[in-house]
Amino acid sequence: MATATAPPVMVERLPRSRSLSPFSWDRVTPILMIAPSVVLIAIFVYGFIGRTAYTSLTAWRGVVPDYTFVGLRNYIRLFGTEKFQADIVNTIHFTAFFLAGCLILGLGAAVLLDQKLRGSIFFQNVFMFPLAISFIVTGTVWRWIFNPSYGLNVLFHNLHLDFLQSGWLTKPSSALNSLTIAAVWQMSGFCMAMFLAGLRGIPEELREAAAVDGATEFQIFRHVVFPLLRPITLSAVIILGHISLKIFDLVFVMTFGGPGYATDMPGLNMFITTFRQDLFARGAAIATVLLLMVALLIVPYLIWNLRGETER
Amino acid sequence: MGNERWSRRQFVGRAGKTAGGVVLGLGLADLLAACGASTGTTAASGTGNLEIFSWWTAGGEADGLKEMFGIYSKKYPSVKIINAAVAGGAGTNAKAVLKTRMEGGKPPDSFQVHAGQELISTWVKADKMEPLTSVWNSEGWDSTIPKDLKDIVSSNGQVWSVPVNVHRGNALWYNKKLLDQNNLTAPTTMDEFLSQLGKLKTKVPAPLALGSQGNWQVQMLLENNILAAGGPDFYKKVFSGQASFTDANVKQALSWIKSMLNYVNSDHPTLGWDDADKRLIAGSSVFNIMGDWAKGYFTANNWVANTDFGAAPSPGTTGKYVIVCDTFGLPKGAADRDNAVAWLKVCGSEEGQAAFNPKKGSIPARTDVPASIFDPIAQQFIAEFKTDALVPSSAHGSATPDAFASGVNDEMGQFVINKDVDKTASNLQKLSDEFLKA
């Protein structure tokens, strides 16, 4: 990282400071360089996480802070609400389908584009474009597309494909899947870019060697290409996974959690609980649960990553 | 690799910001509030600034506010008015901004707030408001503003805010031509209403228009129906935690909603209230139950009152008036306190209310403003406002704290799907136990 690199002047001084003094410049400088960001992160990231966790154990309700300690009462009440139970189920459902959709479409598109056919650069850009749009815009557009009276349904009707018509966002049974479609549309281009980079990074010799050994095109893909894509896949799962667990903007615009609790998510619930209901302690409890959920996904990855770095 | 590292950082950063930012932000605000209070100065009336905070940023609302500013400027020409309005329907964004300003010790000189619990359960309880009883008495508002309304803006024997306007929550709107064609007149009882819907369904597939995006429209149906089933006394008791939501009256109200849902458009979860009124104009529905802001939508679309559309109290609530009322209050530590008091007097004056309300589409909170300057439907409502029993709306924050209203909102979203009267009633009672008994 840029801040950690010592300026050239220091390099010139290196021979002189070879002494074992603990306060030599080449030891102090990096620490001084990193210190501001360490302090800021300590306060504004970890400090606030701690403060939130603490708040979730208090009785703060209403506009005046109340730090009476109540233990896990907020959590017990939170998990007792039908809404939060629905949130958990929805998040798992959404994450599973969102990840599957993005990975399958992304990999498929990447494999096709990797054939270096004519116009692949064009399509590469087309698939990437949705990524440049914010979830707010995507959500608004897809809400129109899914509107039963002037969106997709009208198109299907005009094409005499009436059997494809659906209630989309209006029916509790289909709303979450409709939301997933919009999210997949937005993020599968990102997956494609990652997979494409991965595919391009596989040395041609490996494929050729496999071909010489008599492997079919499918076998090469299954036994050579696919295993080499594993690190990329894992990275994609981590990045998309934490986006989907924390999803807020898309839901806020498309459904606001409705109909009923059909598309409600912990992020939206936390916002409403904290800022509409003024239940600050309970909102902090939701934030803490959300953090733990994301940690469950990220921490194993970090450990795996760290182990890889030390082995290298 | 760089990409992944960034996203990891981003993840931790975001988690901290969303959750911790809230908490520390308010802690810091507390500290500032303490500093702010000690340095607060008051300017003499007639000079300095006047900062008015509201969510009136568009259309008739903003025009009405400007009219009141005009009246104030005529009286106090050397006071500079600062219009601190924050856009966003029903003030959801404005309330968040107000929270940071109040906690930060930099309150506006006066701010818009719905009458009742929206102010009393928050800032009055937090001891951040000045009582306005002396202003109320010196202006003699007891004789011009109904006592029911004074009760809504009062607690512990003190008045906390000045009502500017009154909207009606329990109104039934109808496409007059369609109703006439079917030889029907506006229903007064719920039975009559449901039987009319049954008759109309053979000609119009969805005779009752509903836009339930956000669920608060269904919450309004609930409170209107509770009023119809139990009357004003029961209504006030149940929304103050003194009567149970498992009572037969509430169950009756819920069953009525359930019956109504047989006659509504199926795409209602994606429609807003105005989309529902659009169905009336298009002739694809006959009725809509909505607050009297619907009138503004109809007239903006060149519909003429009592020719194209008509209004009546929502079924079963004749003689009862659900109040959605905007008021202004006086926060402690206002920088220009005397100017703010002068502003509140304009808000409560006949001149101010006569200028504001025709533009806003509401009726005056005072009963002595001449009705002749209003449209025919407002005239009808003004007459009823004088004699009707007045009750505060829960859906719009007057009767109950936000925590309760927001919970009911969720519950009604569930009810629309599962239509389970008993379960919903007992869930509502759980919310009452948690938030109305405190």
Calpha distance B438→B434 (Å, rounded): 7
Average pLDDT over residues A138-164: 85
Looking at residue B1, its pLDDT comes to: 36
User: Is the pLDDT at A193 greater than 60, yes or no?
Assistant: yes
- Please judge whether B122 and A143 are an interchain contact, meaning their C-beta atoms are less than 8 angstroms apart: no
Average pLDDT over residues B134-158: 93
- Please judge whether B19 and A302 are an interchain contact, meaning their C-beta atoms are less than 8 angstroms apart: no
Q: How confident is the model at residue B23 (pLDDT cuts 50, 70, 90)?
A: very low
Higher-pLDDT residue of A199, B24: A199
Calpha distance A196→A115 (Å, rounded): 11
- The proportion of chain B whose per-residue pLDDT surpasses 90, expressed as a percent, equals 70
Calpha distance A285→A279 (Å, rounded): 10
Is the ipTM here above 0.90?
no
- Please judge whether A272 and B406 are an interchain contact, meaning their C-beta atoms are less than 8 angstroms apart: yes
- Please judge whether B27 and A275 are an interchain contact, meaning their C-beta atoms are less than 8 angstroms apart: no
Q: How confident is the model at residue B5 (pLDDT cuts 50, 70, 90)?
A: very low
Which residue among A47, A172, A262 sits closest to B20, beta carbon to beta carbon? Answer: A47
Pair B254, B414: CB distance under 8 Å: no
Which one, of A172, A199, A182, lies nearest residue A134 by Cα? A182
For residue B57, give the DSSP letter. Answer: -
User: Is the pLDDT at B4 greater than 50, yes or no?
Assistant: no
Higher-pLDDT residue of A26, B82: B82
User: Is the pLDDT at A1 greater than 60, yes or no?
Assistant: no
Mean pLDDT taken over chain B: 87
Calpha distance A135→A268 (Å, rounded): 14
- Taking the CA of residue A278 and the nearest CA in chain B, the distance in Å comes to 7
Looking at residue A75, its pLDDT comes to: 95
Looking at residue B26, its pLDDT comes to: 43
Calpha distance B436→B397 (Å, rounded): 13
Q: Are strands B80-85 and B49-54 parallel, antiparallel or unpaired?
A: parallel
Higher-pLDDT residue of B408, B93: B408
Mean pLDDT taken over chain A: 86
- Please judge whether A238 and B102 are an interchain contact, meaning their C-beta atoms are less than 8 angstroms apart: no
Please write the tens of the pLDDT for every residue from B175-215.
999 999 999 999 999 999 999 999 999 999 899 999 988 88
A81-265 CATH fold: MetI-like fold (1.10.3720)
Average pLDDT over residues A290-312: 83
Looking at residue A3, its pLDDT comes to: 45
Which one, of B80, B50, B54, B135, lies nearest residue B360 by Cα? B54
Pair B221, B281: CB distance under 8 Å: no
User: Is the pLDDT at B109 greater than 70, yes or no?
Assistant: yes
Query: Mutate which of B5, B9, B11, B102 to test chain A, going by most A C-beta atoms within 10 A?
Result: B11
Determine if residue B289 is left, alpha or beta; phi over 0 gives left, psi from -120 to 50 gives alpha, anything else beta: beta
Lowest-confidence pick of A145-159, A228-242, A257-271, B269-283: A145-159
Q: How confident is the model at residue B8 (pLDDT cuts 50, 70, 90)?
A: very low
The one-letter amino acid at A177: N
Q: How confident is the model at residue B45 (pLDDT cuts 50, 70, 90)?
A: low
Average pLDDT over residues B392-409: 92
Higher-pLDDT residue of A171, B52: B52
Higher-pLDDT residue of A64, B221: B221
In chain B, the N- to C-terminal Cα span, in Å, equals 53
Q: Which residues of A touch B278 (CB under 8 A)?
A: none
- Please judge whether A256 and B267 are an interchain contact, meaning their C-beta atoms are less than 8 angstroms apart: no
Q: How confident is the model at residue B402 (pLDDT cuts 50, 70, 90)?
A: confident
Which residue among B20, B103, B418 sits closest to A51, beta carbon to beta carbon? Answer: B20
Counting beta carbons within 10 angstroms of the beta carbon of residue A16, is it exposed (0 to 12), middle (13 to 18) or buried (19 or more)?
exposed
Q: Which residues of B touch A44 (CB under 8 A)?
A: 13, 16-17, 20
Please write the tens of the pLDDT for every residue from B296-347.
889 888 999 999 999 999 999 999 999 999 999 999 989 999 999 999 999 9
In chain A, the N- to C-terminal Cα span, in Å, equals 19
User: Is the pLDDT at B248 greater than 60, yes or no?
Assistant: yes
Which residue among A167, A260, A272 sits closest to B414, beta carbon to beta carbon? Answer: A260
User: Is the pLDDT at A11 greater than 80, yes or no?
Assistant: no
Residues paired with residue B163 on neighbouring β-strands, in sequence order: B327
- What proportions of chain A, in percent to the nearest 5, are helix, strand and coil? 75, 0, 25
- Please judge whether B267 and A147 are an interchain contact, meaning their C-beta atoms are less than 8 angstroms apart: yes
Calpha distance A65→B126 (Å, rounded): 10
Classified as helix, coil or strand, B115 is coil
For residue A263, give the DSSP letter. Answer: T
Please write the tens of the pLDDT for every residue from B69-107.
999 999 999 999 999 988 766 677 888 889 889 988 899
pTM, to two decimals: 0.80
Average pLDDT over residues A187-194: 92
Please write the tens of the pLDDT for every residue from B346-390.
999 999 999 999 988 899 999 999 999 999 999 999 999 999 999
Pair A207, A221: CB distance under 8 Å: no
Q: Which two tokens stand for residue B234?
A: 């029961």
Looking at residue A204, its pLDDT comes to: 87
Q: How confident is the model at residue A172 (pLDDT cuts 50, 70, 90)?
A: confident
Q: Which two tokens stand for residue A100?
A: 């599957």
Which residue in chain B has the smallest CA separation from A286? B19
Please write the tens of the pLDDT for every residue from A247-284.
999 999 988 887 889 999 999 999 999 988 889 999 99
Q: How confident is the model at residue A149 (pLDDT cuts 50, 70, 90)?
A: confident
Which residue among B4, B19, B401 sits closest to A49, beta carbon to beta carbon? Answer: B19
Higher-pLDDT residue of B75, A19: B75
- The proportion of chain B whose per-residue pLDDT surpasses 70, expressed as a percent, equals 89
